[in-house]
Structure 1
Amino acid sequence: MPQPAAPLTEFIRTYEQATNSHDITQLVPLIAPGAVYWFSDGSYRGREAILSAVGKTFATIHDEIDQIDDLEWIALSNDHAICRYRFTWTGTINGQPRSRSGRGTNVLVNNAGTWQMLHEHLSA
């Protein structure tokens, strides 16, 4: 029987809050060890590579705020879930205000009762 979307949506909101905290340690339990992320600037395989890339973003974009909107669950099971959404971020780069928006797709995996991000694909 598929999982209801509410706990998964709560996971995405927790992930969004952890990202907005700019504290890498909050993201660690939310990302599966073998995750793969595809960003506009490159692809990253494994939790450590992903956290390193995210840390570089935190160091580059000051006061960054990420927002996920129009979240839609397109596949749900007890073990995996897939969502798509629109995202925006605002922040400061080299003293100048910046922002960007795009689309995201995430694959979540249920690891022993704990949901984690297995794949994230963001594109502008």
Structure 2
Amino acid sequence: MTATPQAAVRAWWQAMQDGDPHTLGELTLPDYLSSGGPAGRSVGRAALLAEASAFFAQARIDAWSLDDVEVRQYGDTAVCAYRWSETGTHLDARFELHGLATDVLVRRDGRWLHLAHHVSALPATAGASGGQSSTVDGSAMAS
């Protein structure tokens, strides 16, 4: 499931689209850290799962994409930086978000797990980068 850092990042976004807190829990370390999301900052896997469950009760992600994925691996640690976008519905209102993200992953027992996740939303008027693009898309989900 997460044999590479890129696979772990894709699995994370797919679990968010699927509304699957169980998989999110399996993809994170107990001392997980998050910055920039809806809660601003969260510490620990339990906080992530509580926030995700609250989000899943009110929202859904219909589609997501990752572009310009850059990975720097340092032994059993990897840093993944990328552009992300997502569309969906929150409290029956459509949303379209995009921005920059950085994930820190640690390899344990042959699997890459999230230690930290940071997102910075960009304004709707922000343009795409001129860099090389490698895109991974999530398929649309019907709820």
Are the equivalent residues in 2 in contact too, given 1:61–1:91 (CA < 8 A)? yes
CA distance in 2, matches of 1:24, 1:9: 20
Q: Which residue of 2 aligns with 1:76?
A: 73
Are the equivalent residues in 1 in contact too, given 2:4–2:112 (CA < 8 A)? no
The answer to whether structure 1 residue 122 and structure 2 residue 122 are counterparts is: no
Alignment coverage as a number of residue pairs: 118
Q: Which residue of 1 aligns with 2:17?
A: 20
CA distance in 2, matches of 1:56, 1:66: 20
Q: Structure 2 length as normaliser, TM-score? A: 0.74
CA distance in 2, matches of 1:109, 1:62: 28
Are the equivalent residues in 1 in contact too, given 2:69–2:82 (CA < 8 A)? yes
How far off its partner does 1:112 sit? 3.2
How far off its partner does 1:62 sit? 2.9
Residue by residue over 1:26-55, the C-alpha shift from the partner in whole angstroms, topping out at 9 and shown as x without a partner, is 111100110101124311000000111122
Q: Structure 1 length as normaliser, TM-score? A: 0.84
Give runs of aligned pairs for residues 1-124 of structure 1, distance below 5 A. Answer: 7-41=4-38, 42-73=40-71, 75-124=72-121
Are the equivalent residues in 2 in contact too, given 1:84–1:106 (CA < 8 A)? yes
Identical counterparts, % of pairs: 31
Give, as a single letter, the amino acid of the residue that structure 2 aligns with 1:104: A
Q: Which has the higher strand share?
A: 1
Gaps of 5+ in 1: 1-5
Residue by residue over 1:58-89, the C-alpha shift from the partner in whole angstroms, topping out at 9 and shown as x without a partner, is 2222344332222111x212210001111111
RMSD: 1.7
Q: Which has the higher helix share?
A: 1
